[in-house]
Structure 1
Amino acid sequence: MNLLVLLQNLNVGDQAADAMGDAAPESTEIEVSVLELLMDGGWYIMIPLALLSLAAIYIFIERTLAINKSLREEKDFMNKIKDYINDGKLDSARNLCATSNTPIARMLEKGIARIGKPLQDIRVAIENVGKLEIYQLEKNLGTLATIAGAAPMIGMLGTVIGMVRVFLDMEIAGSVGIEDLSAGTKQAMITTIVGLIVGIIGYMAYNYLVSKVSKVVHKMESSSIEFMDVLEEPGK
Structure 2
Amino acid sequence: MMLNFLLQVNPVTDTIANTAAAATDMDVSVTDNISYLDFLLKGGVMIYPIILLLFFCVYVIIERYLSIKKATKQDLNLVNDVKMQLKTGKLDNAIMLCSRENTASGNILRSGISIIGRPISEIESVMERTANVEIAQMEKGLSHLGLISGIAPILGFIGTIMGVIKIFHTISNTGNLNIQTISGGLYEKMISSGAGLVVGVVAYSAYHLFNMMIDAYSLQIQKQTLAIINVIQEPHGN
Q: What is the TM-score of this pair, normalised by structure 1? A: 0.89
| Amino acid of the structure 1 residue aligned with 2:115 | R
C-alpha distance after superposition, 1:185-233 (max 9, x if no partner): 1332110111111111111111211111112111111111111111121
Q: Is structure 2 residue 15 aligned with structure 1 residue 22? A: yes
Which residue of the partner structure matches residue 74 of structure 2?
73
Which residue of the partner structure matches residue 57 of structure 1?
58
Structure 2 counterparts to residues 110-149 of structure 1, below 5 A: 110-149=111-150
Q: Distance in 2 between matches of 1:189 and 1:212?
A: 35
CA contact (8 A) 1:148 1:202 kept: yes
Tell me whether 169-178 or 75-84 shows the greater mean CA deviation. Answer: 169-178
Identical columns (%): 31
Q: Distance in 2 between matches of 1:141 and 1:52?
A: 14
Q: Is structure 2 residue 105 aligned with structure 1 residue 104? A: yes
| Amino acid of the structure 2 residue aligned with 1:210 | N
Q: Distance in 2 between matches of 1:191 and 1:99?
A: 50
SS at match of 1:115: coil
C-alpha distance after superposition, 1:125-178 (max 9, x if no partner): 000001001100111111101111111111000011000110111122132245
Which residue of the partner structure matches residue 5 of structure 1?
none
Which residue of the partner structure matches residue 3 of structure 1?
none
SS at match of 1:88: coil
CA contact (8 A) 2:44 2:189 kept: no
C-alpha distance after superposition, 1:37-93 (max 9, x if no partner): 1221123x1121011111111111111111111232224101110111111111111
Q: Is structure 2 residue 221 aligned with structure 1 residue 220? A: yes
Superposed structure 1 runs of 4+ greater than 6 Å apart:
none
| Amino acid of the structure 1 residue aligned with 2:35 | S
What is the root-mean-square deviation of aligned Cα atoms in Å? Answer: 1.9
Q: Distance in 2 between matches of 1:132 and 1:10?
A: 93
Which residue of the partner structure matches residue 40 of structure 1?
42
SS at match of 2:234: coil
Runs (5+) with no aligned partner, structure 2: none
SS at match of 2:74: coil
Q: Distance in 1 between matches of 2:168 and 2:91?
A: 76
Which residue of the partner structure matches residue 203 of structure 2?
202
User: In structure 2, do the counterparts of structure 1 residues 226 and 11 end up closer, same or farther at CA, with 3 Å as the change threshold?
Assistant: farther
Q: Distance in 1 between matches of 2:145 and 2:10?
A: 61
Q: What is the TM-score of this pair, normalised by structure 2? A: 0.88
CA contact (8 A) 1:70 1:216 kept: no
SS at match of 1:232: helix
Runs (5+) with no aligned partner, structure 1: 1-7
Tell me whether 152-161 or 26-35 shows the greater mean CA deviation. Answer: 26-35
Which residue of the partner structure matches residue 157 of structure 2?
156
CA contact (8 A) 1:107 1:129 kept: yes
Tell me whether 102-111 or 204-213 shows the greater mean CA deviation. Answer: 204-213
Q: Which has the larger radius of gyration?
A: 1
Q: Distance in 1 between matches of 2:79 and 2:141?
A: 30
CA contact (8 A) 2:153 2:200 kept: yes
| Amino acid of the structure 1 residue aligned with 2:85 | Y
SS at match of 1:233: helix
Q: Distance in 1 between matches of 2:111 and 2:165?
A: 61
| Amino acid of the structure 2 residue aligned with 1:138 | E
